[in-house]
Amino acid sequence: MTNPSSKGERIKALRLSLKKSQEEFGAPFDMTKAGVSAWETEKTQVGELLAYALEAAWGASRHWLLTGEGSMWADVSIRPLSPMENTFLDRPLIIGAASCGPGGEIHDPGPEASRYSLRRDFASRILTRCGGGKEEDLFYLLCRGESMRPTIQDKEIVLLNAAMSIRMNPKNNGIYLVRRNPEDPEVRVKRLRIDMTLGHLVLASDNRSFPPITIPLEGVPLQQLILGRVVWVGRYLLDTDPPEEDW
């Protein structure tokens, strides 16, 4: 709908932009389909109180709703989260080393990347269980190859915690995204163990037909080699680390 001229038409335009049915659009207000229809046809008065409610729930600009002037959307930096945003967290999918910086940090690949949702309460539990991090430290990762079978299958998507605290304090036998050196264009998912006696980082595969990889640590900060910990792959990985004697 182009330049809707009435308040009701603007409410309908907002709902259609959100791709919501009348039932879904009215749900945050306990409003029925008939009630939303009454807003859109202005059988119910559309005033400032409703405009405030729509801004809080769906991020619409109340000024636009009331006058038709400016953008449909409120300033995203100050608007409250919608009910859907409060419930679900949207995180990007990274593939290989394309999103990894020279210091080991992982960058959001941007709006063109595939993104997946997870519940915010689930993300909070994961971050708590693995020892820290923020929502923005979580990334989905597409794994390739057979080296981590049977734990992780080829082309399986896992969830990665790339928090600095996780990278600087790795847990022996945990599964991490790593690289051989800071300039290595290839990243790999491996079980990790630090041999402090020899000053080595040992990378092992769950598929034992792949030999371990030993990386000297002298002069290289851990966080430049360890890019994040794999914490979930359709199931928690935090309680499945093998005992030390299996190495």
Q: Are strands 88-95 and 138-142 parallel, antiparallel or unpaired?
A: parallel
Grouping H, G, I as helix, E, B as strand and the rest as coil, residue 197 is: coil
Q: What percent of the chain has pLDDT over 70?
A: 85
Which has more confidence, 29 or 83? 29
Residue 102 reports pLDDT greater than 60: no
Which region, left, alpha or beta, applies to residue 239 given φ > 0 means left and ψ of -120 to 50 means alpha? alpha
Kindly list the strands in the beta sheet with 88-95, ordered across the sheet, starting from the edge strand earlier in the chain.
115-119, 88-95, 138-142, 157-161, 226-232, 175-178, 188-195, 200-204, 213-216
What pLDDT is attached to residue 52?
Answer: 83
Identify the pLDDT of residue 246.
Answer: 54
Q: What pTM was estimated for this model as a whole? A: 0.61
Would the CA dihedral through 66, 67, 68, 73 be positive or negative?
negative
Residue 84 has pLDDT above 70, yes or no: no
> Helices 48-58 and 7-17: crossing angle, nearest 10°?
10
What tokens appear for 94 in the block? 């990274």
CATH, domain range 7-79:
1.10.260.40
- Judge whether 233 and 206 are in contact, CB under 8 Å: no
The reported pLDDT for the residue numbered 100 is 47
> Residue 188 has which token pair?
């790999």
Q: With bands split at pLDDT 50, 70 and 90, how would you rate the model's confidence at 9?
A: very high
Amino acid in position 49? L
- What does the mean pLDDT of the chain come to? 83
Rounded Cα–Cα distance for residues 54 and 77 (Å): 16
Is it true that domain 84-246 has CATH number 2.10.109.10? yes
* CB 154 within 8 Å of CB 206: no
Q: Domain ranges for the chain, please list them.
A: 7-79, 84-246
Closest CA to 118 of 83, 86, 141, 91: 91
Residue 181: pLDDT over 80: yes
